[in-house]
Amino acid sequence: VQPRISRAPLLVVIVGGLLAISLVVLGAKLAGQPAPTPDLSSPGTAGHPRAVSVIMRDYLFNPSTLYLVSGETVEFHLFNAGIVSHEFVLGDAVVQAAWRAADAATPPAAFATPPPASVPPGIGGLRVLLPSGASGTVTYTVPASVPLELLCQLPGHAERGMVAEVVTVSR
């Protein structure tokens, strides 16, 4: 008499495998799609800033495109989900160049505390440096008619992909 062998475990493996594959495919599809444009119909004001969340990862910004309204006040909620320090530098080309030079002069070291990088006063822009796992909230008023860029200026990070597109719309 031949013993009956249950095929149930095999089915579980096949179904589970198919599910895992479809989740990976779905994840890749979602990652490849640009994030939907946020609702910009009610820009933030000084008394009522619009909340904008940005997650920093090794080595990219999430979302990869930042939508801002010219003149509005936003409250950035920043979180470093990476395992290394990251920096949120928002500003024009002058701001970017200043922080690039400052960070190149004092890069963060693993087992030492470097002197804090700084730029001359009056450079403007916004710069937040966050260690791994840290979060920060900062209020910012979007300047009118200044082309903004968002980068992590820690040495090598922009080259690895820590550059976000900033789209400033007028209302």
Minimum Å gap between C-beta 120 and Cu ion is 23
Q: Tell me how many helices (H) and strands (E) the chain has.
A: 2, 9
Instruction: Give the residue, chosen from 52, 60, 61, 86, that forms a contact with Cu ion under the rule CB under 5 A.
Output: 86
* 152 belongs to the binding site for Cu ion (CB under 5 A): yes
For 131, half-sphere exposure in the C-beta direction (CA atoms, 13 angstrom radius) is 4
CA 150-50-169 angle, to 5 degrees, is 55
- 61 vs 140 by CB, closer to Cu ion: 61
- 127 vs 157 by CB, closer to Cu ion: 157
- 119 vs 152 by CB, closer to Cu ion: 152
> Which among 108, 95, 103 is positioned nearest to 147, based on CA atoms?
95
Q: How distant, in Å, are the alpha carbons of 47, 117, 163 from that of 86?
A: 29, 13, 12
Minimum Å gap between C-beta 83 and Cu ion is 11
Candidate ranges 21-29, 60-68, 127-135, 161-169; the one touching Cu ion (CB under 5 A): 161-169
* 154 belongs to the binding site for Cu ion (CB under 5 A): yes
